Amino acid sequence: MNVQLNHTIVAAHDKKASAQFLADILGLDPSPPFGPFIPVQIPNGVTLDYMEADGDITPQHYAFLVSEDDFDTIFSRIQDAGLTYWADPYHHRRGEINHNDGGRGAYFDDPNGHNLEIITRPYGSGS
């Protein structure tokens, strides 16, 4: 069996601004609108489809596996944007990155409170 995640819907108060935020941080471009969605396609083929939501948004977690070089570039964008970042998903280690599994990782929030993460090694893959 070959199962792959194709897309997921991301709730946002402003779908265009939220899609642009993620695209800017990751160095991507949002795709043209598709129905009620503003898609952001990740290079591995998974698409995050941003959709307007009224009321409270339940924060979700989205982790992006990146190369060491891409981590440096993306992390610089996070810092340049003045975003708060943490080494842990609970937001206890503010202003730090982690070195889990011999790689590097950082968590930061998007404008809707979704917990975004960049990592250079999948969890459980190393020391």
33-91: pLDDT as tens digits: 999 999 999 999 999 999 999 999 999 999 999 999 999 999 999 999 999 999 999 99
Section 94-119 average pLDDT: 97
CA nearest to 123, candidates 108, 102, 106: 102
d(CA 57, CA 105): 25
Q: For residue 67, give the H/E element and its range.
A: none
Q: pTM value? A: 0.94
